[in-house]
Amino acid sequence: MFRSPTPKASKMAKANLAGALPPSIIGDKKLLILVSILVVTFMVDSQIGYIADFIPERLVTNEGIALFIGIAVVFAIGGILILQYAKTKTKESHARALHLHATHIGVTIAQYVLIAIIAFVIAQILLTTQYNTVTLAIALSISYGLWIIILALLSRALFSWFRSSRRNVMVLILALSMVAYVANGITGLANHLAILQQQLEVVTSEAVAFFPEFDPESLQSQINTVYQVAANIAYVLTWIGAVMLLRPYIHRIGKIKFYAIMGSTMVYYLINFPLFVLGYFTPTEETDQDVMNNILIFGIAPVFSGIIFGAAFLSVARTLQKGSALREYMIIAAYGLLLFYVAGSAAVSQAAYPPFGLASVAFTGLSCYLIYTGLYSSAISVSQDVGLRQSIRKSAIKEVKFLESIGTAQMEQELQKRVLTIAKKNSDIVTEETGVQPSLSEDDMKQYLEEVLKEIKVMKA
């Protein structure tokens, strides 16, 4: 269940129905630049990791090691700045569901531990030209552990709100998608740790990245299948939830454009698993170059999906009033989903030298925290708007019957006053219960009420 907001938080929520938030220390433009740098960095990191067994001689050079160190630096600095931004927005939004502040502290500690692990790996490589794979296992466990715990908290929060509120279908679908992501994270962790067990305990500069093959009937192959299926189910559910979440705002960016973007993203993402089963990513001596090209082309499908998925949320966020609560929630959710798909597409269990993919994998937990902060708050905020619209419509019809005997002009003025009073009261109640502020301003309510009145006039004519 949700924590009740403090009296001060309740007063602030009532004082600003539109959910305006104070400006952050990191503006929208700086945040966009930071996220763009992280996306490009993790794209390079993950793709090099996947083709590391094709180009081992290039990775062990001074340039290859310098590139790995540069990626690690971007990971460390970018993670710290993202944490500061998330902390600011969490504090300003007053969303304290499921001990969000404690979650932030846990994520911060984990992120600094991951930075220390990567720094230790770099030190080993520079000083001894080798590293221990146990460091990769620890990093995987921490990052995927955050993934599993945070998205489990998010699914719990969404289910709790679904049961105790209006049983909104959108929230249910998003909750189910989080359950699928949790299953994806659990099987993914088991899959990667099993692969790491097949690697050398100490990886030297002479070693080559290794992707072991398992018998189709083995437990490892079955876990990998569940891992892939869970990822696809999670993606489809998130896609459906995103469409429902953004439906009230689709007209602002155009239906054709919106569905074209979302549809192409789904096809590009889901085609990966069938191609993997058909052997398009399995190297042979005669087709090494073709396989590497296939890996590079289709390996960026999750990255492309994340970019388009996040762009859909950002497109809607930019149509909303600057400083509004929903705009900020949408931005956080957008960047969280974007970074989750980019970082989550990487693998480090192949144990390349140096271990490309490590920085991306280590960022997965933090991206899940951004999803937790933004998506949960966005879902509740938009659902509140749906409830407010329903309340306005029901109140308008009821009041029209009550005020039919009054002159038309006077009736509309009286109707507007009475309905908006009821809507504001309902908005304040839900805000106090959830700690999340609605996005509908008083002007939005008036505009929607005018649309309802026009519909009523047409029905009576």
Cα→Cα distances 449→40, 380, 420, Å: 45, 22, 8
Residue 287: pLDDT band with limits 50, 70, 90: low
277 vs 143 pLDDT, higher one: 143
Helix or strand holding residue 131 (H, E): strand 130-132
Question: Tens digit of pLDDT for each residue in 127-137?
Answer: 999 999 999 99
pLDDT value for 201:
92
pLDDT value for 370:
92
Among residues 320, 354, 381, the one where a domain terminates is: 381
Which pTM was predicted? Answer: 0.74
- On whether both 260 and 134 belong to a single domain, the answer is yes
* 20, 323 contact by CB (below 8 A): yes
Residue 434: pLDDT band with limits 50, 70, 90: low
Whether 2 is covered by a domain: the verdict is no
User: What is the number of structural domains in the chain?
Assistant: 2
Q: From CA 237, how far away is CA 180, in angstroms rounded?
A: 9
Whether 331 is covered by a domain: the verdict is yes
- On whether both 69 and 102 belong to a single domain, the answer is yes
Inform me whether the pLDDT recorded for 449 exceeds 50: yes
Q: From CA 226, how far away is CA 220, in angstroms rounded?
A: 10
Residue 310: pLDDT band with limits 50, 70, 90: confident
pLDDT value for 118:
97
- On whether both 368 and 442 belong to a single domain, the answer is no
Share of the chain above pLDDT 90, in %: 30
Inform me whether the pLDDT recorded for 452 exceeds 90: no
Among residues 381, 409, 428, the one where a domain terminates is: 381
pLDDT value for 442:
62
- Other CB atoms within a 10 A radius of the CB of residue 102 amount to 10
- On whether both 371 and 406 belong to a single domain, the answer is no
Q: From CA 121, how far away is CA 106, in angstroms rounded?
A: 23
Residue 456: pLDDT band with limits 50, 70, 90: low
Question: Tens digit of pLDDT for each residue in 371-428?
Answer: 888 877 766 665 555 554 555 455 544 444 433 433 444 445 555 665 566 666 666 6
pLDDT value for 122:
97
Question: Tens digit of pLDDT for each residue in 188-230?
Answer: 999 999 999 989 999 999 988 887 777 777 888 888 889 888 9
Residue 292: pLDDT band with limits 50, 70, 90: low
75 vs 53 pLDDT, higher one: 75
pLDDT value for 63:
95
Which two structure tokens, joined as six digits, stand for 189? 């962790």
- On whether both 201 and 318 belong to a single domain, the answer is yes
Whether 1 is covered by a domain: the verdict is no
Q: Could you tell me the residue range of the domain that residue 445 belongs to?
A: 386-460
Whether 259 is covered by a domain: the verdict is yes
Give the max Cα distance, the chain: 90
Whether 418 is covered by a domain: the verdict is yes
Which residues are CB-neighbours of 413 under 8 A, at least 6 positions away?
none
Inform me whether the pLDDT recorded for 25 exceeds 70: no
Q: From CA 149, how far away is CA 413, in angstroms rounded?
A: 51
10 vs 66 pLDDT, higher one: 66
- On whether both 254 and 271 belong to a single domain, the answer is yes
Q: From CA 99, how far away is CA 82, in angstroms rounded?
A: 19
- On whether both 132 and 12 belong to a single domain, the answer is yes
289 vs 48 pLDDT, higher one: 48
- On whether both 270 and 238 belong to a single domain, the answer is yes
Question: Tens digit of pLDDT for each residue in 66-106?
Answer: 999 999 999 999 999 999 888 777 665 444 444 667 888 89
- On whether both 369 and 410 belong to a single domain, the answer is no
Question: Tens digit of pLDDT for each residue in 322-377?
Answer: 777 777 878 888 899 899 989 988 889 999 999 999 999 999 999 999 988 887 77
Report cis status (omega within 30 of 0) of the bond before 56: no
Whether 82 is covered by a domain: the verdict is yes
- On whether both 398 and 291 belong to a single domain, the answer is no
Average pLDDT of the residues in 289-314: 67
* 4, 432 contact by CB (below 8 A): yes
Average pLDDT of the residues in 155-166: 76
Whether 282 is covered by a domain: the verdict is yes
Among residues 351, 381, 411, the one where a domain terminates is: 381
pLDDT value for 412:
52
120 vs 298 pLDDT, higher one: 120
Give the mean pLDDT of the chain.
75
- On whether both 308 and 454 belong to a single domain, the answer is no
pLDDT value for 232:
87
- On whether both 220 and 345 belong to a single domain, the answer is yes
DSSP assignment of 395-434: HHHHHHHHTTTS-HHHHHHHHHHHHHHHHHHHHHHHHHHH
pLDDT value for 73:
97
Whether 55 is covered by a domain: the verdict is yes
